[in-house]
């Protein structure tokens, strides 16, 4: 699990830094439609990011990815397709997350990516598609009641 979070953090961090700072230098694995993630991301890294999306939102790949309408070779995903609105939403969320980390959690303009992954998808989502702060209030509430009792 640590590996997943770490990979996503690094990738988000790289996106938040200048283009000159890039540690991903493997061969182009041939993804066709990456607009936000680094184009030369490795297959393993992309898998980690996608798995972390899945876990953070509590969804399956099909929540964001459409099936290929051509079923002559059986049913399979067309991962490059942008037919599902959730995919575009996820792109916006990726940009927002990278922006938050770079702008608010990197006061000393560090070039160390590991200091830049304060906010990840799971920070807000916690396994749900549409996180609302009020769903976390009961948790906060009970902690506050507990603390109040101690003092
Ligand atoms: C929350 C939405 C979301 C979920 C869930 C998700 N993906 Fe993605 N996926 C994206 C987005 C957004 C992109 C494009 C990123 C970009 O533009 O840089 C993408 C891109 C991809 C690509 C690259 C396609 C190409 O050629 O451009 C593959 C492969 C992929 N996803 C596989 C998966 C798999 C497998 C799963 C399930 C384990 C999965 N995704 C789950 C949002 C999602
Ligand atoms: C600062 C909090 C926050 C973070 C961080 C965040 N999200 Fe979200 N996300 C939300 C909220 C709130 C909603 C529901 C409101 C909306 O749809 O605009 C949402 C909605 C979405 C949706 C649409 C869900 C639907 O039902 O259609 C997708 C997809 C999504 N987020 C993906 C991501 C991914 C992927 C990441 C990490 C790269 C991420 N989010 C990080 C707060 C966040």
Return contacts of 20-23, CB within 8 angstroms, 24+ apart. Answer: 21/111, 23/113
| Average pLDDT value for the chain | 82
Tell me which residue has its CA closest to atom 36 in ligand 1.
61
> Any idea where the domains of the chain sit in the sequence?
2-150
Interval between CA 54 and ligand 1 midpoint (Å): 10
User: Residue 55: CB within 6 Å of ligand 2?
Assistant: no
Q: Which ligand is nearest to the CA of 39?
A: 1
CA dist 78 and 65 (Å) reads 7
Query: Of all protein residues, whose CA lies closest to atom 39 belonging to ligand 1?
Result: 61
Can you give the pLDDT at residue 15?
56
pLDDT in the model for residue 51: 96
With 50 as the cut, is the pLDDT of residue 19 above it?
A: no
Instruction: Provide the residue count of the chain.
Output: 151
Tens digit of each residue's pLDDT (9 = 90 or more) over 47-72: 999 999 999 999 999 999 999 999 99
143 vs 124: CA distance, rounded Å: 19
Structure tokens at 97: 């997350």
Q: Spell out which residues line ligand 1, taking CB within 6 angstroms.
A: 31-37, 46, 50-51, 53-54, 57, 59, 61, 63-65, 79-80, 86-87, 90-91
pLDDT, average across residues 33-39 = 93
Give the model's pLDDT for residue 13: 53
Topology (CATH) of 2-150:
Photosynthetic Reaction Center, subunit C; domain 2 (1.10.468)
Q: What's residue 65's pLDDT?
A: 98
Of residues 10 and 37, more confidence is placed in 37
């Amino acid at each position: 699990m640590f590996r997943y979070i770490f990979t996503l953090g690094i990738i988000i961090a790289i996106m938040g830094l200048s283009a000159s700072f890039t540690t991903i230098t493997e061969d182009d694995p041939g993804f066709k439609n990456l607009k936000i993630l680094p184009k030369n991301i490795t297959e393993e890294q992309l898998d980690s990011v996608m798995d972390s999306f899945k876990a953070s939102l509590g969804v399956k790949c099909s929540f964001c990815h459409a099936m290929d309408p051509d079923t002559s070779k059986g049913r399979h995903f067309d991962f490059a397709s942008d037919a599902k609105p959730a995919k575009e939403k996820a792109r916006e969320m990726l940009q927002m997350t990278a922006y938050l980390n770079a702008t608010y959690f990197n006061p000393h303009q560090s070039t160390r990516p590991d200091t830049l992954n304060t906010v990840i998808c799971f920070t807000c989502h916690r396994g749900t598609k549409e996180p609302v702060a009020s769903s976390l209030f009961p948790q906060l509430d009970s902690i506050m009641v507990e603390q109040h009792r101690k003092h």
